[in-house]
């Protein structure tokens, strides 16, 4: 089994929901509650050392519930491998998750984009403003129920 999945099952057995292996790619679904600790462990542990956050994506799974999710793509320069971390957010009306900006500073802008496009709030983010849309924009345009031409 993948070392990241092993590590998480050893350190956070209650948090891991599902581990999927597909064509050599590992995808770990976790609960959103302790995402910051999980990320810190993946970054700092010598077996995984995911020092680099490739990207964060906000997801909208409408009409499923839980509707919103956040996907973290991590890369380890040391081990030359990747892992996908996935968290589904419980609250469909006001999705929120802890910010991982203190773990990887690059998360700052990625989370701002997810907030701008999807309306996912990142608790503890140093500067959660819109990054692409104008500041006075109403709504979050990448949500699936957002009309194509805008409101």
Partner 1 sequence: MGIEEHLGYNILTTSLEKLVDWGRKSSLWPATFGLACCAIEMICTAANRWDIARFGMEAFRASPRQADVIIIAGTVCKKMMPAIERIYEQMTEPKWVIAMGACACSGGIFDSYAVVQGIDQYLPVDVYVPGCPPRPEGLLYGILKLHEKILQDPFLTKKYQERLALRQEAV
Residues that bind partner 1 in the complex, under the rule CB under 8 A = 132-134, 141, 146-151
Please identify, using beta-carbon distances, which residue of 14 and 136 lies nearer to partner 1.
Answer: 136
Shortest reach from residue 107's CB to partner 1, in Å: 24
Instruction: Print the SS3 string covering 20-35.
Output: EEECCEEEEEECCCCH
Shortest reach from residue 144's CB to partner 1, in Å: 14
Instruction: Print the SS3 string covering 79-115.
Output: CCEEEEEEEECCCCCCCEEECCCCCCCCHHHHHHHHH
Shortest reach from residue 59's CB to partner 1, in Å: 19
Please identify, using beta-carbon distances, which residue of 23 and 151 lies nearer to partner 1.
Answer: 151
């Amino acid at each position: 089994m993948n070392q990241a999945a092993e590590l998480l099952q050893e350190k956070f057995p209650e948090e891991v929901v599902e581990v999927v292996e597909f064509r050599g790619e590992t995808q770990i679904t976790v609960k959103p509650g302790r995402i910051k600790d999980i990320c810190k462990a993946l970054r700092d542990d010598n077996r995984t050392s995911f020092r680099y956050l490739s990207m964060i994506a906000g997801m909208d799974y409408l009409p499923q519930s839980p509707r919103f999710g956040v996907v973290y793509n991590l890369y380890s320069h040391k081990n030359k491998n990747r892992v996908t971390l996935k968290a589904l957010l419980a609250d469909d009306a006001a999705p929120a998750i802890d910010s991982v900006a203190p773990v990887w500073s690059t998360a700052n802008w990625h989370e701002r984009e997810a907030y701008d496009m999807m309306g996912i709030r990142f608790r503890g983010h140093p500067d959660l403003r819109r990054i692409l849309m104008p500041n006075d924009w109403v709504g979050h345009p990448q949500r699936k129920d957002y009309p194509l031409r805008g409101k």
